[in-house]
Structure 1
């Protein structure tokens, strides 16, 4: 049986600021992110299996990505916890805002690496993460490919 790639797309709104950056993105701002998640595997051939013909049920993939990424990052603000932004994060958290303190500078590049780790850890053994595409704006995105890693 052939390997087939399955892709599901997600949207979420997230704010961030890049500490120490020399451009506008040093300021707190947000994006309407688009995340494309592509997995690869062989379709189920067991005729008694309820998901016959599927690599993975789109609903199962949606559950993983929603729990690991969308539900956590949507309408949150992400800061690098290893910078003085931690003080701003504390202030916002005390005021009831959803803040994520990341181990990294919250660029699209680093976020897509983080997302890949989180999604891979939840996939069934017979399914592999093939690629991720995190689109920050209409013209800017970061991509992660398993073959590059």
Structure 2
């Protein structure tokens, strides 16, 4: 089994806010992340796929095609966007980094060629906080 990782970067705004809670409870649980005027992050996204290299090319997957897939299915939808308002696959969900990583997985998995599968989505919200998601 071979693992191949592509790193991408995007910027996005969001807020953590449960509409079923009072402002006070949201502020207590989410702190400054519940800011009514939103806040943003410079995300680093690591997409790791796995499989066996093609004997004719030696590639697990053409990295140019992987780059295009990530750009079309994820980056174009989230970069310089408000995750709560602008991103279709985040609608109706709490816009945590955990949920965003799972949403990114769901955006990519159906579009991968049959000889590879997703191994991990690693999403850095800050230099000190990241989420890893390995599928269901």
TM-score, length-scaled by structure 2: 0.85
Which residue of 1 is the match for residue 45 of structure 2?
A: 35
Residues matched between the structures, number: 122
Does structure 1 residue 58 correspond to structure 2 residue 63?
yes
After superposition, residues 110-149 of structure 1 pair within 5 angstroms as 110-146=99-135, 149=136
Distance of 1:119 and 1:103 partners within structure 2: 20
Moved over 2 A (4+): none
User: How far is the alpha carbon of 1:19 from its aligned partner?
Assistant: 1.2
Match of 1:14 among 12, 15, 37: 12
Does structure 1 residue 26 correspond to structure 2 residue 15?
no
Unaligned runs of 5+ in 1: 47-51, 80-88, 90-98
Higher strand share: 1
Q: Give the superposed CA RMSD.
A: 1.2
Which residue of 1 is the match for residue 22 of structure 2?
A: none
User: How far is the alpha carbon of 1:121 from its aligned partner?
Assistant: 0.9
